């Protein structure tokens, strides 16, 4: 066999390998979790935040999904709306929206928060019409007054109903207010708290998977 023929065979093998590599990566689906410090895992390593535990659960079941942690500490709904176009440059199959907590802490008008979150939902739906969107709700602190906290809570229910989305009413369900599950600031979950969040969120996510 001459050198030219050997070279052709090597190229053919290399191209075949690249095609197989592309095919495998194309089969892996993306779950993008877009949020604030809760998603980012404030005060912890990224591997200790709930998106990492969602990935562990998926891997343990042999599912072909990659979880992307797109959390940014301090992010408001307005900041998320400005950031979403950049995030959507990567493909996604499932989009989990966890934003609004910082709006509530700052007393931002709930109508503005709702408008911003709707803008994010619209952008995701426009670019990836086949993607599943899961919305997580948040509670405003009680010192904002009953009228504000009620309106703030209801905006998430309205968004879920108006957009026909899977809805987790409170991302900090069974975590908020528990000293053992929160860091010293009483706001951000500990690693143990993130494990609880992941377990609760899984109950909504598995319906899509």
Would you say how long the chain is, in residues?
A: 209
Catalytic member of 23, 130, 164, 185: 185
Strands of the sheet containing 65-71, edge to edge, are 65-71, 29-35, 94-98, 132-136, 166-168
- Annotated catalytic, 122? no
Catalytic member of 36, 77, 188, 194: 188
Quote the tokens at residue 74.
């301090």
d(CA 153, CA 170): 9
Catalytic member of 36, 37, 103, 194: 37
| Alpha-carbon dihedral angle through residues 54, 36, 184, 195, given to the nearest 10 degrees | -10
Phi and psi, residue 70, nearest 5°: -110, 40
Whether 180 contacts 29, CB under 8 Å: no
Partners of 80 in beta bridges:
none
- Annotated catalytic, 185? yes
- Annotated catalytic, 85? no
Catalytic residues: 37, 185, 188
């Amino acid at each position: 066999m001459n050198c030219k023929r050997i070279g052709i065979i090597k190229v053919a093998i290399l191209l075949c390998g690249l095609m197989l590599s592309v095919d495998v990566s194309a089969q892996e689906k993306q779950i993008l979790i877009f949020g604030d410090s809760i998603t980012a895992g404030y005060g912890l390593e990224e591997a200790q935040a709930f998106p990492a535990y969602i990935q562990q659960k998926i891997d343990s079941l042999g599912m072909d999904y990659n979880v992307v942690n797109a959390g940014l500490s301090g992010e408001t709904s307005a900041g998320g709306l400005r950031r979403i176009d950049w995030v959507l440059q990567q493909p996604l199959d499932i989009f989990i929206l966890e934003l609004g907590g910082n709006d509530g802490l700052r007393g931002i008008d709930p109508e503005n928060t709702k408008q911003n979150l709707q803008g994010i939902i619209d952008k995701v739906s426009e670019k990836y019409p086949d993607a599943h969107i899961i919305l997580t709700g948040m509670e405003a602190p009680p010192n904002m007054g009953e009228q504000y906290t009620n309106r703030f809570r209801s905006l998430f229910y309205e968004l879920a109903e108006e957009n026909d989305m899977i809805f987790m009413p409170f991302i900090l369900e069974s975590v908020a207010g528990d000293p053992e599950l929160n860091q010293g600031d009483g706001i951000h979950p500990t690693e143990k708290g993130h494990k609880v969040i992941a377990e609760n969120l899984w109950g909504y996510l598995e319906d899509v998977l």
